[in-house]
Chains A and B, each alone.
Chain A
């Protein structure tokens, strides 16, 4: 009797160990994925930099794959990415933050219940759909509006893709900022009211500064999303690397160039294909840094106000 109990206990313990190791294995897959991404990109990128100069890649201004003396200077591509991303943030931050403030500070809870799902729908629209919308509806609109002001815009202007990309990241900024603003303790607001501040002043001087780490975190996350966004720019932005500040011109981005160098008919070991991985490496490093800063900011905010809901 005793021995059977003991063997039953042993069996249970073994079972427990087995299951636990299976669970650890599953958890390790996420680490494996990150390193998989890092190394798969890193190795191909190193191969590229053995063929072409690393320094010229970062600072060169001519990107001409597929020709005899092909050059890979990615500066115009970085510039295009930068311009489109800045346009997106200029659209998304005021609108996203404004919506978040209205929803968390002014709207009744009933209105909120209706508004949240609407913003969730906006967040759930696939990017390929945004891309189609940018190319078919917004781009011609930009050309028309520009012509109205006597300006000339191309049909794949940076402005059109930037605006649509901005709309795409509105829900990201608004939902995260909304959560953060609501996490600011009510005692702070009440103290401000008691001192005679208007609601607007309370929000501007008390609530927003308190929520600032969270808002910056949301904006950085949105920035990282915009940098890595592919479909909108593939469908609506240009293919030509163009070093220019004029948002009405066509520009290309890192992601567009990655897609184009991989869907072309080049051999896998040609610098044309490998350049995609070099660009991918830059994108990975930049977004990783942005995500890290964003995550540490939000963690500090959580610790300061002791919230677990974010």
Chain B
């Protein structure tokens, strides 16, 4: 016993010579797991930082103050409304809209006005220090105007009010937003009732038989099938077999509905399952039948959970691109569609089109569009999480 007190390691029956090494290894392992987690978070930070850096400039756009002449001749060919030396600095699309400006201000006729007018994309990119291909004499002109305060950056309202355009400074996201809304209305109108009904059937009515199990396996599989294959389904069945119009929100919405269905079913089932059986038993005890119990008691209690799942499904459908490309929703759409059978594009598809354009301004607009899309998606998810936290009943 006395010998033990010397803390002689060799005589300690519990002494493990590898212990130190084992602790070091345990610490190393913990560090590895922490590093991988930090990597995920750092990636998100880097990604958001990169997108904000690339997209924020697009929320401003350059205007230039020049003399614009309004008369018969310049209205016929609007290029002549601006002096030759400024012609390359001013947006072609803005000049084309001069008659509209004249309609708003009839007094401008037969006069020369010094007004702010949208600058061309090259000038805008030069002002923002991005790649541009202005000629040297134009650069000198722009520098001169900028020094005089005759070029300024303003909030880019065009981006939110215009549809797509072949002229980069005139391209906006509006028609894609409308397309997205129409498509998602179809999606939810189809997927929500069918999804909730399927969930109710599986949770409340179906027994544990082969048919039920088959449906369950099917739903789980459907959730994992690559989205592009849903596009092939839409193309082969909705467009070729049923003859629905190509590129339309109708076909897009139906295709996305089939993709959203499993998400809504799975979350609705979880919500229904969370309602305790005592509620159902109490209902039966009062003489209600199954349908009354489900409709009047179980469903209202499960509703917050169902909503949460549906919003998450909606957000996912909103960001989906691949199946919509297959069914042709990447058409060039300058004007917002007003019917679900008209050709349309959706936000992510619009971003895809812009990302493939050579001009720098489209790249900037893609990043800006991404910021808009992400803002909407994150808000939708936040609403879903909030609903889950606030309305969820703790049993």
Contact = CB atoms under 8 A, between A and B. Distances in A.
A30 B232 contact: no
A112 to B, nearest CB: 11
A115 interface: yes
A117 B228 CA distance: 27
Interface residues of A, number: 90
A75 interface: no
Nearest to B321: A128
A64 interface: no
Interface stretch (A52-60, A144-152, A241-249, A285-293): A285-293
A200 B29 contact: yes
Q: Is the interface of B mostly helix, strand, loop or mixed?
A: helix
A31 B44 contact: no
B158 interface: no
Given A26-B198, A117-B385, A129-B351, A31 B214 contact: yes
Contacts of B237: 36, 40
Contacts, number: 254
Q: Interface size class for chain B?
A: 35 or more
Contacts of A136: 54, 355, 363, 367
Contact of A98 (B35, B230, B289, B315): B35
A112 B235 CA distance: 43
Given A106-B33, A126-B321, A132 B219 contact: no
A128 B229 contact: no
B11 interface: no
B348 A30 contact: no
A259 to B, nearest CB: 6
A307 interface: no
Interface string A92-134: 0011111101110110000000010111111011111101110
A221 B194 contact: no
B229 A283 contact: yes
Interface in A60-84: none
A224 to B, nearest CB: 6
Given A36-B237, A126-B348, A199-B26, A259 B322 contact: yes
Given A37-B233, A106-B33, A118-B44, 8 more contacts: A23-B205, A26-B194, A29-B198, A37-B229, A128-B352, A200-B25, A224-B226, A230-B321
Closest 8 CB pairs of A and B: A228-B226, A126-B319, A98-B36, A200-B26, A40-B236, A26-B197, A230-B322, A23-B201
